């Protein structure tokens, strides 16, 4: 199993799982996020399912093209079904495919990834999640 991560900086509250078969890309995301985020990474959809069954994550970042018959959309759809409150982010280098069909992602980011934009996006998520929980309980 290609499991990278389980790393976090002091005070990290957001938990992120990355699914990408490109080891260099996975490691670069871990390095970019671990100062402020608990981050783990896997290479395959099967490893993602295992990791998600072992720990709770707030965000799933998944590449569209994986080195299996399963696509990133398949992984995100399974996550939407099993863990509907988890934020799902699709990462791809293929802009044409992304515009062809709807995706089970809350956001789509394009490679080469702007790590500053990703960190900014992730910085908003705790506040958004808190608001959604309040609204689900009937409070404004």
The domain ranges of the chain are 4-136
The pLDDT score that the predictor gives to residue 140 is: 39
Q: How far apart are CA 100 and CA 84, in angstroms?
A: 24
pTM for the whole structure: 0.81
Model pLDDT, residue 19: 97
The pLDDT, as a whole number, for residue 132 is: 47
pLDDT at 138: 42
pLDDT value of residue 108: 85
Taking alpha carbons only, the member of 84, 36, 30, 81 closest to residue 57 is 84
Digitized pLDDT (tens) for each residue of the chain, 140 residues in all: 455 656 666 666 789 999 999 999 999 999 999 888 899 999 999 999 999 999 999 999 999 999 889 999 999 999 999 999 899 999 988 765 655 667 788 888 888 999 888 888 888 765 555 554 433 334 43
CB-neighbour burial class of residue 127 (10 A; exposed 0-12, middle 13-18, buried 19+)? exposed
**Pairwise CA distance, residues 58 & 60, whole Å:** 7
Question: Domain 4-136 is classified in which CATH homologous superfamily?
Answer: Response regulator (3.40.50.2300)
């Amino acid at each position: 199993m290609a499991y990278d991560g389980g790393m976090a900086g002091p005070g990290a509250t957001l938990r992120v799982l990355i699914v990408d078969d490109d080891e260099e890309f996975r490691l670069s995301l871990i390095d970019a996020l671990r100062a402020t985020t608990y981050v783990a990474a896997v290479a395959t959809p099967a490893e993602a399912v295992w990791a998600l069954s072992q720990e709770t994550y707030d965000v799933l970042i998944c590449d569209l093209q994986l080195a299996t018959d399963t696509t990133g959309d398949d992984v995100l759809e399974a996550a939407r079904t099993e863990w509907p409150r988890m934020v799902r982010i699709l990462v791809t280098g293929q802009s044409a495919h992304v515009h062809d069909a709807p995706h089970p992602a809350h956001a789509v980011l394009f490679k080469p990834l702007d790590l500053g934009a990703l960190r900014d996006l992730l910085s908003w998520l705790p506040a958004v999640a808190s608001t959604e929980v309040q609204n689900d309980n009937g409070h404004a």
